[in-house]
Structure formats: structure tokens, C-alpha cells
Amino acid sequence: MALTGALLLTSAPIASADQVRDAQWPLTVYSAEKVWKTSQGAGVTVAVVDSGVDAAHPDLTGQVLPGKDFTGAGTPHRDTEGHGTAMASLIAGHGHGANNSAGVMGLAPKAKILPVRVDLAGSKFVTASLASGIRYAVDQGASVINLSLGDDNSYPGSKAAKAVAYAEAHDVVVVAATGNDAGTVSYPAALPGVVAVTAVDQGLKFWSSSNTGNVTVAAPGVEVAQADPTTKSGYAVADGTSGSSAYVSAIVALLRSKYPDLTAGQIINRLVKSASFLNNTGKKAPDKELGYGIARPGSALTMDIPKGPKEGPLAQASSSTSTQSGSASGNESPSQAAKKDKSSSSGILLIAGIAAAVIVLGIVFAVIRSRRNRGSGGPGSGPGGGMPAHGTGYPPQPPAGYQQYPNTPPNQGYATPPGQSPQYPNPYAQQPPHQGQ
């Protein structure tokens, strides 16, 4: 289970900015130079709800908007953890030096970053600041929100869950990391409508520490070079679904820039339809580890994909925002349990009345079944069959109207076959313990 307020990443320093670009294997795998000919994320604001973003980092100068600090520390441009800056760099870093050849290049280098600093220690205050931060991001015009964090108090019905539903109702794509403890998808990634992201390594294989269950897509998250203002060099190499979430947020920014008329749901539709299991043989969507596959920016931008319904392929939060869950974890708040007990007591009082109506209902059922058998050809065969509740293990196949695309070869968004991307020394002589997650 995710620890409250945990940042979903473990990291180690990297020697210098000159080594960083060669270490950015996701850019090679994603054929970034080719992708940028189609979209670079211009005109899109991505909110990084995190530990703050160091706006003075050389790879982020000019990319970071004023933002807001919900911790009481005073400024969203201060990042004592380094985590928010790292995520911002993967999304919208522009490098530095001659021809910007040094440092981190983000996958959407012309997107803007809205830093939203939230409290990542404690309990109730974490969720309160997270909820306020999400709502602020929506009201400031962010069309993508990246949540590379875990908060067990963000269960359905919580303030944070209602804030996520608020974002979805305002046409914002919310992307979140699933967690790094090999458990079930943590909140807020487990909430309905959220794009839940797991990690893959350089061989495009599932990272075994990723949390699983209700997964939407996967993205690079192992040995990822990124900015880190807390290290001497200003950089680190890290493992975690945090980085995977940031890369998917960047892909969403590329899509929102190229397809400004698509709804958030239709953007997610493109993301899901263009994903592929690539060389992960034997997988079938939806998979509890990779969801609908590895997200691919080149394919997402260029494939011929029908718009689909405005709501998109993911289950949505109910109007009350307090019922459906996006994970298989079965997490439940004490207040929800109390409500369940109360409803059970009320149900006992109804048994007598229900029994008296059994005969009448039996007759009605027989008539209805007869009519159904003559109509749509059996249960579930109608064109609007819809999608089961989001808490049934992991997302089912998209509803009617979402054509499943076959897994396509790696050359759509992946120029280099696995194993041929630039290699660099593993910064870990031994894997460090999970820091919170």
C-alpha cells in the first residue's frame, strides 16, 4: 500500500550535465526528434502538483509559470525534495548550452509548467493541500495535471477525489503514478478517470516494483536521467513510476497541442488506442501490469484514430464523486464503512415487504425476459453495452464505439529496437531501499 504523501521515486546522482543527454534513453526509444516535427506541446500548460519546481534550473528557465505554494513555505519555485523539478524536466525541459545539447530535454519541450507545491508529509494536511492544489491548477487553465505521488487519503469521496472529479469535469487530463511497492494501484491513480501509469525499463519490460491492477498505460521509468536541484551536479538517475507518469503527461501535452479540439476523454482515447505491448508477448488488454500497453507519442500523434465519445474510454467518477474506485485494492474510509453498516440495517427492515412482492416480480421478470430474448440478441450484445464499474480489478475493454487497434510494430514512435539504445553505467552498485515508496 502506498504511504501517505509518498513521492514515487528513488534516485542517485549523475556526474554531470554532459552525461545526461546520452543517458536519456527514453528520448531515443520514443524517436523524440521525429516526434517534435509533429508536436512539441506548444500552448499547453501542465500542472506539476508536487514538491515545487526550481524555476532557476538551467534546463527549465522560461518554462515555469508563477504557480502557487500550498504548504505555507512561501514559494512554489523552491524544491527541497528535488522531485517536482525532476518531473518538470522530463515533461518540458529544454536543456542548455550550445544548441541545448547538455542537460535534460523533456518530451514536450514547448509546454509550460505550472508548479503547484503541496505538503508531502503528515496526514490530513497532505490531502487538503493536494485537493486545493488540484483545484487551483484547473482554475489556472492547466489542461494536464501530473500527480507523481501517492496519498492513501485520496480514496473515493475524499476532498482530493472530489478535486480530481472537478478537474475531469473541466476537461482536464489527470495523470498519476501507480506506486512503487509492487502492491495494488495507489490513490490518486486508482480514482475513476485518472490515467494510471506503470513503469518499463530500457528493454521495454515491466518494472516489477510498479503497483498493478487498474493500469491505463506504461512508460519509461527505470534509470531515467532527470534534473535534481538537491544534487551537486543538478542531476540524478532514478527509478519509479513518477517518471513514467511525467512522460505520459508529456505525451498528453503533445496531443493537446496538436488536437486542441479533442476533449480530455478523446485525448485519452488516442493514448490508449496507440499504446502497444511491443515485445511483451502474451499480453492481452487490459493487462494488470501494462494496462493497454506502452504509451507511444509518435503513434498517438499520427495514427488514424476515430475521436470516440467525448467521455473517453475510462470509467468516470459519479456525480457524487464518492462511489467508484479505480483500483482493486478495496480501500475504504471509516465513514464509508459506517454508511455500509447503516444501509445494511435498513435493508433488514425491508425484507418483509420484498418477500410480499416476490410473486408479482416473478411475473414481471418473465415478461421482460421474453421481450429481451426477442430483441437485442442476448445480454451485453447491444451497441451501448457500456463499461463495468471501475473497481472490478482493472479497466475492462473500452465500450462499444472504441475499436481495438492491433499491436503495431515498434517503428511507430519507437525508432530503435530494445537493446540498441545508448547504454550507460548503472548508477546503483546495489538497488537503494524504497524511500517511502
Q: Active site includes 242?
A: yes
Enter the C-alpha cell of residue 9: 521515486
- 170 exposure class (CB count in 10 Å sphere: 0-12, 13-18, 19+): middle
Helix H or strand E segment including 48? strand 45-50
Q: b/e string for 5-41 if b means 16 or more Cβ within 10 A?
A: bbbbbbbbebeebebbbebbbbbbbbbbeebbeebbb
pLDDT band at 16 (very low <50, low <70, confident <90, very high): low
Enter the DSSP assignment of 191: S
Residue that has been written with the C-alpha cell 492544489 in this structure: 133
Other Cβ atoms closer than 10 A to 407: 17
Q: Active site includes 50?
A: yes
HSE toward the beta carbon, residue 109, CA cutoff 13 A: 17
Selected catalytic residue, list 50, 54, 119, 151? 50
The model's pLDDT over 94-105, given as tens digits with 9 standing for 90+, comes to 999 988 889 999
Q: Say what the pLDDT of residue 56 is.
A: 97
The CB-based long-range contact list for 361-365 (8 Å cut-off, 24+ gap) reads: none
Give the CATH superfamily of 6-302: Peptidase S8/S53 domain (3.40.50.200)
Lowest pLDDT segment from 24-38, 132-146, 413-427: 413-427
pLDDT tops 70 at residue 86: yes
- Start-to-end Cα distance in the chain: 9
pLDDT band at 120 (very low <50, low <70, confident <90, very high): confident
pLDDT band at 71 (very low <50, low <70, confident <90, very high): very high
pLDDT tops 70 at residue 227: yes
- How far apart are alpha carbons 91 and 112 in whole angstroms? 9
The model's pLDDT over 167-214, given as tens digits with 9 standing for 90+, comes to 999 999 999 999 999 999 999 999 999 999 999 999 999 999 999 999
Cβ atoms of 331 and 187 within 8 Å: the answer is yes
Residue intervals of the chain classified under CATH 3.40.50.200 are 6-302
- 1 exposure class (CB count in 10 Å sphere: 0-12, 13-18, 19+): middle
Side by side, the strands of the sheet bearing 217-220 are: 68-69, 112-117, 45-50, 144-147, 173-177, 195-200, 217-220
**DSSP assignment of 294-309, as one string?**
B--HHHHHHS------
pLDDT tops 50 at residue 417: no
Selected catalytic residue, list 209, 210, 242, 322? 242
Amino acid type, 279? N
Q: What is the mean pLDDT of the chain?
A: 77
| CA pseudo-torsion sign 58, 62, 63, 69 | positive
Indicate left, alpha or beta for 212 from its phi (over 0: left) and psi (-120 to 50: alpha): beta
Cβ atoms of 188 and 176 within 8 Å: the answer is yes
Enter the C-alpha cell of residue 385: 453495452
- Shortest CA distance to 235 belongs to which of 220, 223, 251? 223
- CA angle at 394 for the pair 241 and 386, rounded to the nearest 5°: 130
- How far apart are alpha carbons 403 and 233 in whole angstroms? 47
Selected catalytic residue, list 57, 77, 83, 390? 83
